[in-house]
Chain A
């Protein structure tokens, strides 16, 4: 479906870009993104996904808001105690009436997954589930003032193959914003097809400097075997 006048006005600055245009914007609108995990990068990532014109966002996060959540992007002290996913969905809808944002529920069919887990275990679980469902996915892991973003197009080496130890530092608001924005950026590039060919990569930001590597399959990893049959999506691991 062609872009409406409202969409052209809203997205005019990105419609000017090479490799983006009406087709790229329509791909964004057609994308259904499951954002799983309430890690620090989620709020900035959600802001930028909504701003870019992702059509549907499901937020998969069972926890209530604690002080400091959202990296200071989405929630104030008055929001503490509210269910985080519902509050985030509301914030996304306030940011853009062109985006449909809701709390994740059974039966929906995302087309791409953004893993923003607060821990390495959650990231690994969400990434593995997305891989088994043959969904392209992006994993955001905050590490101190920086972090790492892993991009896994369908069939690419999995997140576990690409994972590397970081500093293991507590997330900071700046690191969450850097990692969340980069994750949203990679997801937009993936969905619009602006990067060709779509090869898996991992981008680490340490002391303000990004460093990207093509991901490489580890010998014997299950991600190299034939894909498992499709199963329905379920709620994120706690």
Chain B
């Protein structure tokens, strides 16, 4: 444990279905400093898939409970847990001081924001998402590979994303996706080329099929070309609507 990773740091967005296994992987591998952001409280319906929390944590702030669990498993670990939502301002601030950003958020607005912040700060980002039986993974290395806006020109319009009533998620698939994200972050921290750099890996769990979608830098991508504005990512009206309540799954 330790060695080269003890001098490394990671920002993990969300401590739930995806962020939980990410944090567990990074902690167990000796990453020197973990910064986590989550502004939610632990609810019953979280417990089918969020391994940092148990029944005793119901009602507790996730940032709090996550830090406590990580410290119990790895005494002496350096965890900075923020009970805050990842936004353009705190994101840009924290990104400067970490070596990798891992996005375990559960909504498209935050995912696009994370990509924009990573590109703006020139830090690698591991993106992941789970919806029903499908998981997807992508690594963004600013300057070298395409970002989320290169792949999806803009966040999905409201109404095209499943609402909380339609979305469903199976715990072990979130665990698989989050653990794969953690493994990818560890590869990047060790100076290796990411397995998901420049390609979206899509895994459908029932058919056990893997698809690879190339993600090249898109000419005209506002994020990669630095046209989102010097103050940080643009305030996109769709982003504002999506931010008002979390949608999607993690």
Contact = CB atoms under 8 A, between A and B. Distances in A.
B192 to A, nearest CB: 9
B230 interface: no
Contact of A13 (B49, B72, B184): B49
A77 interface: yes
Interface string A130-142: 0000000000000
Interface string A10-22: 1111111111100
B172 A48 contact: yes
Contacts of A48: 49, 51, 171-172, 175
Contact of B29 (A10, A47, A172, A203): A172
Contacts of A161: none
B169 A77 contact: no
A207 B167 CA distance: 29
Interface of A: 6, 9-20, 44, 47-48, 51-53, 68, 71-77, 94-97, 145-146, 172-175, 177-178, 180-182, 184-185, 188-189, 194-195, 201, 203, 205, 207-212
B243 to A, nearest CB: 21
Nearest to A174: B183
Nearest to A183: B172
Contacts of B187: 145, 208
Given A44-B175, A74-B73, 12 more contacts: A16-B165, A19-B206, A48-B49, A48-B51, A51-B172, A52-B171, A95-B47, A174-B25, A177-B179, A181-B178, A188-B170, A209-B195
Ranked 7 nearest A-B pairs via Cβ:
A72-B28, A16-B168, A181-B175, A208-B195, A173-B28, A212-B208, A185-B172
B194 to A, nearest CB: 8
B208 A201 contact: yes
Contact of B172 (A19, A52, A145, A209): A52
Contact of B133 (A6, A17, A146): A17
A12 B25 contact: no
Nearest to A151: B208
B176 A182 contact: yes
Given A17-B170, A209-B210, A95 B54 contact: yes
